[in-house]
Every structure is written in structure tokens, then in C-alpha cells.
Amino acid sequence: MPLRRSDGTIWTINLDGSGETYVTTGARPRVSPGGRYLAFLREGAPFDNQGNIWVREIASGLETRLFVSNPNPFANTNILVSFDWDLTRTNLIFDYNNRFWRLGLDGSLSQFPLSASFNQAAPSVNPVDGRVAFEILYPGPSGLYLAPADVSSKQLLVGYPSGARWPAWAPDGSEIAFSDGPVSSSVDSGKNLWVTQLISNNINLYQITGITDTSNGFPHGAQWSPSGTALVAAGSLFNTNGVWIIPLNDDGTDCEGPAILLPTSVGDPIDFVGSVIAAPVVPGVVRPGLFIALTADSVVVYWSAAYQGFTLESTTDLTAPATWTAEPEPYDFDGYLYYHYEALASLSGQKFFRLHYTTP
């Protein structure tokens, strides 16, 4: 099949600016939690919301077309804006013709009960409880809406600022980043970034960027860093297009210091940041280092949060066949490292630790 420029290309890059890597052709990528699968749009006109859903298994590179939005996959006319992974990590929730659907990796398809509404799209799944935030654009009432995990009903969550769109849940499920924009049917017109905090029955709004000119902005909102301390977005600042990191202050209510432009290759404008994950997107399993430190009263075992899917295990005897036991969670977490503490007073004469890859 000849490659078409209209498909776009998908790349990955580390947040320190290293490791820029071409992945495949497509648009609007979303990586599953844990980094096993990449969903994206391809064929038809994905930049005009008329593409098909494909999934790539990252380790093997195997790509599968899961959903065709028209009998002719290269002449789509039905609207499909975006999608997100549900809590199972094996189903996509996506919008199609103003309704929401569930799509399994096996191609199984089911429709959610919520009725259609014009320009109802761009679902984002809460990583803790599965609730779904989404946008409704013109004619409205425009804004961000919230639905339960079964997408059976909706309530208006954010009606101000105007044209709120492209919601993205924070890693802890308590905040949503989004962009504002004109009250129109275009999903490509986002400008400033905002954060709304959902605390009990209160909804607190905070404007993160203050762009006032017509040349700059973030058309498709932003994603959160794994630690929840920064927003990562594709767009333009200072008349420069690229992937920007916007650090947030301690309570997430404002930017903290200047935005950071990642050093990406020269080429077509960067259109979309769909996922920021802790696990590196590379073939195979990258094994993290495991470290041990000694304090006055404890042994501390720690490792980087950049690697997902590993379980900390221990044994007191390495003689084959050794019996390894999982250390109970939760572990302490500082945004970068996981920590497991063992009181010196309770330690046996010897104890060995390992990280076991248990969640592909």
C-alpha cells in the first residue's frame, strides 16, 4: 500500500529531549497504560476526523486495522475524532458520529447508552475510576461534560471558558487539563491551556497559559507528565511550533518557570501529543536498575518510576528452586522513584530483592 502524506507520521521522544524515534504512519496516537499497545488513525482523512482505527503492538511491531468508519476505507465520510483506553488496557472508548463506542483488541464493538449530540467527541478516561470526560462543541451547550464509566448519562462540567475542548485526566484522576477556543465545530482551534480541579463537589478553574495573539496556541490541548507536575502539548509558543513542556507549580494552579521546547527534527508542523507514559516505547522489555540504601533504622529498596509492569519480590534463600514473594504495595512515590522500606529490627539474617516483569 503506498504511503500517503495525509496519514501523517507518529514519533516518540523522551521528556529530556533525547531518543526521538519514528514509529509508523498515522495520526492522533494513544498509547495504552503500561505501553504495550499504540492506537492511532490511518487512511481516509484522519486530520479531518475521518480515519480508521489501527492498533500496533509495540514490542512486535504488528499493526492491525480494528475499525473502518466507512465501507470504503479510503473515502471516509463519517466523523471519528479521538479515543482513549479504558481501565482494562485492552478496550478503546471512541466517538463515532456523535456517540460513544467500546472497541476491543479482538475487534468486538458495542455502543454506549448515551444518546447522540452534535459535536460530542474526544473522550478521556479517568485512570482511577473509569469516568469519561468529553467535549461538546457548537451548537452546544458547548463545554466539557462528565459521564460515568458506563457512559449512560452526562452532566456539564466546564461551560467556561468558551469552547472548552480536548480534556485529559491527570494521573491521579483528580484534575483535567483542557484548552479553550472559539465556539465552533472545529476540533483544531484550541488556544490556551487550563486545569480544572475536582475536589468534592467543587470545581476550581485555573488558566495556565495567557496567549492573546492569533499565531500561537495549543490546538488539541495537552497531556500530563507521569508525575502530574507538568503539561506536555503540541502547538506554538513564541511563533515556534513543537512539543512544549509547561511546568506547573506545586498545587497545579499556574505555570512554574518558562516553557521548555523539546528539540525535534525539522519537518511538517507537530500536530498532536496523544500520550505521555512512564514506560519507554521501545521493542522488548527494558529492565530498570534496582538500588538499595541504608538509613539509621531501615533498608530502602528503590527504582525508577519510568518503568511499568514490574513487581518487587524478595526471598531469603537463593538456593534453587528459590521461592520469590511479592512485597505488598503501596510503595512510597515521590514522582520519580518508588521506595520500599524494611525496618532493620525486623530483617532476617539475609534477604534478596528483585524486580519481576509481571504485567506485559
Each residue's pLDDT tens digit, 14-48: 888 888 889 999 999 999 998 899 999 998 889 99
Same domain, yes or no: 243 and 301? no
pLDDT at 282: 44
Question: Once rounded to an integer, what is the mean pLDDT over residues 77-105?
Answer: 94
Share of the chain above pLDDT 70, in %: 92
Same domain, yes or no: 195 and 58? yes
DSSP state of 336: S
Same domain, yes or no: 190 and 321? no
Q: Determine which of 123-137, 178-192, 337-351 has the lowest per-residue pLDDT on average.
A: 337-351
pLDDT at 284: 53
pLDDT at 70: 77
Final residue belonging to a domain, choices 206, 241, 261: 261
Residues spanned by the domain of 34 = 5-261
Question: 162: domain CATH number?
Answer: 2.120.10.30
pLDDT at 5: 45
Same domain, yes or no: 10 and 92? yes
For the question of whether the overall pTM of this predicted structure is more than 0.85, the answer is: no
Instruction: Let me know if residue 136 belongs to a domain.
Output: yes
Same domain, yes or no: 220 and 343? no
Using one digit for the tens of pLDDT, what is the confidence trace for 103-118?
Answer: 999 999 999 999 999 9
pLDDT beyond 60 at 257: yes
Instruction: Let me know if residue 57 belongs to a domain.
Output: yes
| 39 CB neighbour count, 10 Å cutoff | 26
Burial class (CB in 10 A: 0-12, 13-18, 19+), 156: middle
Instruction: Let me know if residue 48 belongs to a domain.
Output: yes
- Using only C-alpha atoms, what is the Rg of the chain? 22
Same domain, yes or no: 230 and 338? no
Distant-in-sequence, close-in-space partners of 283: CB < 8 Å, separation ≥ 6:
58, 59, 60, 61
Report d(CA 176, CA 174) in Å as an integer. Answer: 7
Kindly report the average pLDDT of the chain as a whole number.
Answer: 88
Instruction: Let me know if residue 275 belongs to a domain.
Output: no
Higher pLDDT, 348 or 170: 170
Instruction: Let me know if residue 282 belongs to a domain.
Output: no
Question: Dihedrals φ, ψ of 356, to 5°?
Answer: -110, 125
pLDDT beyond 80 at 139: yes
CB 192 within 8 A of CB 208: yes
C-alpha cell at 38: 499504540
Number of domains the chain is built from: 2
Same domain, yes or no: 204 and 305? no
Share of the chain above pLDDT 90, in %: 59
Cα dihedral 78→82→86→88 (10° resolution)? 80
Instruction: Let me know if residue 313 belongs to a domain.
Output: yes
Question: Once rounded to an integer, what is the mean pLDDT over residues 120-136?
Answer: 97
Same domain, yes or no: 332 and 232? no
Same domain, yes or no: 255 and 295? no
Cα dihedral 90→86→74→76 (10° resolution)? 150
pLDDT beyond 90 at 1: no
Buried b (16+ CB within 10 A) or exposed e, 64-93: eebbbbeeeeeebeebbbbbbbbeeeebbb
DSSP state of 327: P
Cα dihedral 32→4→268→266 (10° resolution)? 90
Same domain, yes or no: 168 and 303? no
Report in angstroms the alpha-carbon separations of 286 from 44, 63, 289, 307.
35, 21, 10, 8
Instruction: Let me know if residue 268 belongs to a domain.
Output: no
One DSSP character per residue, 189-241 reads ---SEEEEEEETTEEEEEE-----SSS-B-TT--EE-TTSSEEEEEEEETTEE
The pLDDT confidence band at residue 246, using thresholds 50, 70 and 90, is very high
CB 305 within 8 A of CB 335: yes
Same domain, yes or no: 245 and 326? no
pLDDT at 318: 77
pLDDT beyond 70 at 253: yes
Using one digit for the tens of pLDDT, what is the confidence trace for 266-322?
Answer: 888 999 999 998 754 444 555 677 888 888 888 889 887 777 778 899 888 877 667
Same domain, yes or no: 164 and 311? no
pLDDT beyond 50 at 237: yes
pLDDT at 286: 58
pLDDT beyond 50 at 194: yes
CB 322 within 8 A of CB 315: yes
Question: Once rounded to an integer, what is the mean pLDDT over residues 53-60?
Answer: 92
Buried b (16+ CB within 10 A) or exposed e, 177-199: bbbbbebeeebebbbbbbbbbbe
The pLDDT confidence band at residue 351, using thresholds 50, 70 and 90, is confident
pLDDT beyond 90 at 85: yes
The pLDDT confidence band at residue 334, using thresholds 50, 70 and 90, is confident
One DSSP character per residue, 56-125 reads EETTT--EEEEE-SSSSTTS--S-B--EEE-TTSSEEEEEETTEEEEEETT--EEE-SSPP-TTEEEEEE
Final residue belonging to a domain, choices 261, 282, 308: 261
Instruction: Let me know if residue 281 belongs to a domain.
Output: no
Higher pLDDT, 151 or 263: 151
